[in-house]
Amino acid sequence: MKSAPDLQFEVRRSRIEAALVSLIAVLAIVALWLSRTPVIAQIAATALIVLALAAHIRHQMSRTPKRCQLQPDRTWRIQTGSTEFAAQLTDSRDLGMLIALQFTPEHGRRIDIALWPDSITSDTRRRLRVWLGRGAG
């Protein structure tokens, strides 16, 4: 039996994700102001969009980075702040620019991790893709 590769990474905050979320908010506001919606509704909706964007950015900034490490028995150790637990990788999707991982811990809720190109190093990203491509994920 082959041993698991040395695969570990810490998920960094992504500038790409932040830029895309901001772009979506700006496009929503532009579309709103180009519509025939009454001005008071446009102002209210714009304020809601800006508040939602601010809340999203605040949540992203306060989120504790996750550290993931593949174990020899093909389980993962996930560390969030001072909490560390074992989890199984139950699903993964390689969407080109985005790698989506879904973990199920022994106890607790499902954990979804989105890996953008600037979330982990390119070498780690390549090794993760190879590992997932071999049907390990």
Band the pLDDT of 6: cuts 50, 70, 90. confident
Same domain? For 90 and 109 the reply is yes
Same domain? For 27 and 55 the reply is yes
Examine residue 80 and state whether it is found in any structural domain, yes or no. Answer: yes
Examine residue 2 and state whether it is found in any structural domain, yes or no. Answer: no
**What length is written for the chain?**
137
Is the pLDDT at 2 greater than 60? The verdict is no
Phi-psi region of 57 (alpha: psi -120 to 50; beta: other; left: phi over 0): alpha
> Which residues lie across from 80 on neighbouring strands?
66, 83
Is the pLDDT at 110 greater than 80? The verdict is yes
Is the pLDDT at 31 greater than 70? The verdict is yes
Is the pLDDT at 40 greater than 90? The verdict is yes
Distances (CA, A) of 108 to 19, 86, 111: 31, 11, 9
| Whole-number pLDDT of residue 3 | 53
Same domain? For 72 and 55 the reply is no
More confident: 133 or 46: 46
Is the pLDDT at 81 greater than 50? The verdict is yes
Range of the domain at 57: 15-62
Query: The tokens of 90 are what?
Result: 């139950």
Examine residue 1 and state whether it is found in any structural domain, yes or no. Answer: no
| Whole-number pLDDT of residue 1 | 42
In the predicted model, what is the mean pLDDT of the chain?
Answer: 89
Same domain? For 96 and 83 the reply is yes
